[in-house]
Amino acid sequence: MGAPGRWANLPQAMRVRTKVAWATLSWWSGLLVVLAVWASSCRNSVGDAGPLVETCLSLGAGSCDTLKEVQSKNQQLRARLSEVRWPKLACFRANGRTYSLPLRAESRNLLHPPSESLLAYLAGFFDGDGCVSCQPKMSGCYLDVSQSFDQAEVLTLFRETFGGGITPASRGGVGLRKPALRWIACGQSARRVAELLAPHSITKREQLMLTAQWPETKSQRKDCKAELCAMKKRDSAVAGPCSWNYFAGFFDAEGCIVQRGRGVSLTLEIRQKHAQVLEMLRIFLARTSGIESNVASGKSSHLLLICGVTKCKHVLQHLLPAGLLCKAKHAELAVGLTPENAAQVRTQVVCLTGNQQFGKRLDAAGHDRARRILSTNQQAARFEQRGQCAEARAKKAEVEVLKEEHELLKAHLENQQLLEYTHKLDNLHRNSWDGTFACGM
């Protein structure tokens, strides 16, 4: 299907709008048909799904909508999604097995403690994602680690190593926030786990030592509770032994593998509220591998940055055999990154990441548009340097048109993805989903 020949007589900005309409019409019509069938089936099978479906249909972006109109619909879709709860978790899958919830607490014989390498990994992960909390009557502390239901392997590792139980987190899944699971150890079990983790910990060593040495008298417990609260507010990291196993656990909990653009580029990032642990990791990298990294400080957080494909691959090649678990698949893809498979790797990586940037990531066409905008900008700069002012102005005007088209197409893609996600979430309810598998979510 071709575009109308009258385009030549339209202003440039309007031509972009018309092209966008023709480009998006085919997929949009198909999606509306799917949603209409979905709405009909929802009315027949689930009484309370009708309003959600009808809201989604009314918020679908039209091919002639302006950028502001599409963005407004996207904001409304996100607001509606933020009110839609996931079904209650009844089970979860990890390591090829299905576990019923709650997975009751078990004790472990820790007379023969786990290996030092495993303890270092678990201490690193606990430093990143773990929490030490005082029990309500101050009888002691409990330790817990929370993870998305589809990243439960590390929780089963904590349970297999230390005992404890796994339960659904108190806050269930809502909209783009997936349901979470929680490993927890209490009482004497928590004390013993704290004793084992403390020698390998950096950011939470003081909290773990306090847990292991929790006093018996009520007055001392009150002081210890106040001390625990104070530890959480300051940088309580202590100098301690760092290893690749600890680094792997900490990176699994807090790290991020970033591939920018469609080419061969890699950055490893770890963001923290306090800087000391990042400085220790930076020193560890320099001392053991000669890898230079930087700690950048912002207003409310600090960021460890490892830049460059060779450096990043080197680090990941150390982390994988050191126990990297949650991000192992992502790391393997990054290690195998080449100019030939860069686009494919990016697509696969998107499927492995969470929903923090849902609807905001560029697809392949978006990266092509961004590259064209950059190239056109560079052409304009060259014309200016040569004193060709008319040509430079023309290129700058072209850039503005390209940006307008880019933003509009990004908004349409976001709208499409939000609608599809809402459809999938509603399907979970209609199919009595219990936690075993949620494709594409």
What is the chain's alpha carbon radius of gyration, rounded to the nearest angstrom? 26
Q: Compare 294 and 44 and report the one with higher pLDDT.
A: 294
Nearest one of 364, 369, 328, 366 to 347, comparing CA atoms: 364
Domain ends where: 300, 335, 352?
352
Entry field: residues in the chain: 441
Last residue of a domain, one of 332, 352, 372: 352
Same domain, yes or no, for 80 and 152? no
State mean pLDDT over 39-59: 55
Structural domain range at position 151: 91-233
CATH of the domain at 122: 3.10.28.10
pLDDT at 51: 62
Residue among 343, 352, 363 nearest 413 (CA): 363
User: What does the pLDDT read at residue 180?
Assistant: 97
The reply to whether 436 falls in a domain is no
Where does a domain end: 175, 204, 233? 233
The two tokens of residue 26 are: 């085919």
> Residue 435 falls within a domain, yes or no?
no
Do 416 and 340 belong to one domain? no
Q: Answer yes or no: is 184 within a domain.
A: yes
Q: In the chain, how many domains are there?
A: 3
The mean pLDDT value of the chain amounts to 88
**387 and 253 in one domain?**
no
Whether residue 134 is found in the same domain as residue 228:
yes
Question: Per residue in 400-434, pLDDT tens?
Answer: 999 999 999 999 999 999 999 998 998 898 888 98
**238 in any annotated domain:** no
In this structure, the answer to whether residues 79 and 113 fall within a common structural domain is: no
Residue 403 confidence (pLDDT):
98
pTM for this model (two decimals) = 0.85
Residue located via tokens 């799917």: 34
Q: Judging by beta carbons within 10 Å of its beta carbon (0-12, 13-18, 19+), is residue 297 exposed, middle or buried? A: exposed
Phi and psi at residue 91, to the nearest 5°: -160, 175
Are 267 and 342 members of one domain?
A: yes
* Domain membership flag for residue 441: no
DSSP assignments along 6-36, one per residue: GGGGS-HHHHHHHHHHHHHHHHHHHHHHHHH
Q: How confident is the model at residue 52 (pLDDT cuts 50, 70, 90)?
A: low
User: What is the model's pLDDT at position 11?
Assistant: 42
Q: What is the pLDDT of residue 10?
A: 38
Residues 9 and 77 in one domain: yes
